[in-house]
Amino acid sequence: MRHKIGRACLNCDYWFPNPGEKEPYDLITCGSCHRYPPSVPIVAERGLFYEEHEQGSTADQTLMGFPETYGDEWCGEWMPDEETGKEEL
């Protein structure tokens, strides 16, 4: 369940808590905004998204992700969460 507060990502219909976040969600819960397709560049040099090429050379990969925010943030695209039914204060 989400808090019944005013305008905040926590109460936005487009915002989802990150996997591993535990309920009850609060203003310091980290999540991601799904208002638009993934658009934040994620560049990984070595690690999870790093790929080795057959010739032994290496290359960075750029992936796209959803913007991450905390529950207390908000933007001009904010939409009341249908779950809480809370409108802007």
Contacts 24+ apart (CB under 8 A), 17-24: 18/68
In a domain? residue 21: yes
Domain range enclosing 17:
9-70
pTM above 0.85, yes or no: no
Torsions phi, psi for 10 (to 5 deg): -55, -30
- Residue 7: both structure tokens together: 């305008």
Confidence at residue 82, expressed as pLDDT on a 0 to 100 scale:
76
Domain count of the fold of the chain: 1
What is the pLDDT tens value at each position of the chain, 89 positions in all? 455 578 899 999 999 999 999 988 889 999 999 999 888 887 655 555 445 544 444 455 567 889 999 999 999 899 888 765 544 43
CA angle 15, 21, 25 (to 5 degrees): 65
In a domain? residue 75: no
In a domain? residue 54: yes
